[in-house]
Amino acid sequence: MNLTTIFLLFVAGVTLAFCIDSGGKTDEEAMQEMQQCIKRGMQYYQDIGSFPRLSDGRITADVVRDRCSRSQLAF
């Protein structure tokens, strides 16, 4: 294999990994899902009376944002 072939295979692999990681979603779709998760999370903590701070003193919005950044299915 020559250098060009190796480079093209590398680019194809990175592109495939990105598509799998992002679930094929556009940036706008991913942002909308993140916003919806945050909205659900904030509502959840308001409903259980842990807003604007959790019982351990952490800021609710920070916790929600962190959990939603890991998974939009968190809430």
> Who wins on pLDDT, 47 or 23?
47
Q: What is the pLDDT of residues 50-70, one digit of tens each?
A: 999 999 999 999 999 999 999
So what's the pLDDT on residue 70? 94
Residues 68 and 34: beta-carbon distance below 8 Å: yes
pTM: 0.66
Tokens 């920070």, residue located:
62
Distance CA 60, CA 74 (A): 14
Query: What percent of the chain has pLDDT above 90?
Result: 61
Taking only the tens place, the pLDDT of each residue in 26-35 is 889 999 999 9
Q: What is the average pLDDT across 43-49? A: 97
